[in-house]
Amino acid sequence: MAVGRTVETDAPTGRDATADATHAVKVSGLTVVYGRTHKALASFDFAAEKQKVTAVIGPNGSGKTSFLNAFTGAVPFKEGSISLFGTEVAKVTPRSMYKLGVSRTFQNLLIDDLSVEDNVRVGASSKVHASVIESMPTAPRARRESRTRRDAAGAAIERMGLTALRKFKTSELSYGYRRRVEIARALASSPRVLLLDEPTAGMGPYESAEFADLMLVLAALLDLCVVVVEHDMSVVRTAASAVYVLRTGNVVDHGTPDRVLSNTEVKRIYLGDFAVRDA
C-alpha cells in the first residue's frame, strides 16, 4: 500500500484540494492479490467526478467486487493509491473511508424485523460522538445526537420516496423498495462518495429505469460522486457519464457508455463470439 498523508479526521488532511481537484475519486495502480499469485485486480486506474455517475461493469469474477472491497478498506491491496478530492488517503480502512464520506450499499443486509426508519437510522450512527456518560438518555448531548440521527434518517427517507412506508418492517416491502431502503441507509451518513453494488439486481425494466433516473438526481441534488457496479446495460447507458469494463482483473476499455459498449471486445464479453459475428 502506498505511503502518503495519514487521514484520520472527518475530512482529508494536508493540502485542501477539494475546490480544484479534477476528480472526486482517483485510483492509481490498484492491485489486489489473493493467495500468493491470483491477481483479482491488476494495476487498476480509475477516476470519478462528483455530480456524476461512473459505472464499473464486467462478468462474474472480473474484479468488480474486489475493487469495491479494496476501495472501502474491506480487503488490503498490494499496490496502488487512492485519492479523494485531490488528497491521497494513506490509511485505507473501513473506518477511515467512512469518516471521509465514503458510503456503500450491501445487498440483503437489512434487518427485517426493524422498520424502514430504524434501518435507515443505522446509517446515521456515524454521527454519534458522545461518551458513555454523555450517551445517557437524559444527557443533553445524547438528546441532540438522537435528533441528529432522526433528522438525517428522515431526510434520506424522504429523498428515496419512502415517507409513507417509514413505519413498515422491511420484510413487508417489495424488492424495489428494499433497495431504496438500502440506499437511504447509505445516504443517512451524508456521504460525499456513494458506492452502489448492483442496485437494480432482480428488478424489472420499469424499476431499473426508475433507478437509473434516481442515481442521476441524487448525484446532482446532493453533490455526490456516485460509483455503481451494474449488470444492466440500459441503466449504464442512461445514468453513467463514464464506464469501466473489467475482465479477469484487467481493464478492457473505459470511456463514455456509447463508445465503450460499442467496442467489439466488450460485446464479445457480454454476447459471445456468435452474437458479435452476426451483429
Residue 270 in grid coordinates = 457480454
- Give the CATH number for residue 46: 3.40.50.300
* Secondary structure tally for the chain: helices H, strands E: 9, 10
pTM of the shown model: 0.82
184 belongs to a structural domain: no
The answer to the question of residue 268 being in a domain is: yes
For residue 229, the model assigns a pLDDT of 95
Strands 193-197 and 102-104: parallel
pLDDT tens, residue by residue, 51-82 = 999 999 999 899 999 999 999 999 999 999 99
pLDDT digits (tens, 9 = 90+) for 175-216: 889 989 999 999 999 999 999 999 988 888 999 999 999 999
Q: Are strands 52-57 and 242-247 parallel, antiparallel or unpaired?
A: parallel
pLDDT in tens, 84-102: 999 999 899 999 999 999 9
Predicted pLDDT at 268: 86
Exposed e or buried b for every residue in 78-90, given b needs 16+ CB within 10 A? ebbbbbbbbbbbb
Residue at 167 is within a domain: no
13 pLDDT band, cuts 50/70/90, is very low
Residues 6+ positions from 193 with CB-CB distance below 8 Å: 24, 25, 48, 84, 101, 102, 103, 224, 225, 226, 227
Given a contact cutoff of 8 angstroms between Cβ atoms, the answer to whether 238 and 226 are in contact is no
Residue 8: domain span: 1-15+22-101+193-204+224-279
Query: What is the longest distance spanned by two Cα atoms in the chain?
Result: 71
Percent of all residues in the chain with a pLDDT value above 70, rounded to a whole number: 80
pLDDT per position as a tens digit, 35-51: 877 889 999 999 999 99
Mean pLDDT over 3-18 rounds to 37
Q: Is 80 a domain residue? A: yes
Whether residue 157 is contained in a domain is answered as no
Distance CA 267, CA 130 (A): 53
Residue 179 lies in a domain: no
Is residue 174 in some structural domain? no
**Res 126: pLDDT:** 54
**Structural domains in the chain (count):** 1
pLDDT in tens, 122-158: 887 654 444 434 344 455 555 566 677 788 888 999 9
Domain-embedded: residue 133: no
Q: How far apart are the first and last CA of the chain?
A: 44
90 DSSP 8-state letter = S
Q: What is the mean pLDDT of residues 255-262?
A: 94
Q: For residue 71, what is its C-alpha cell?
A: 476501495
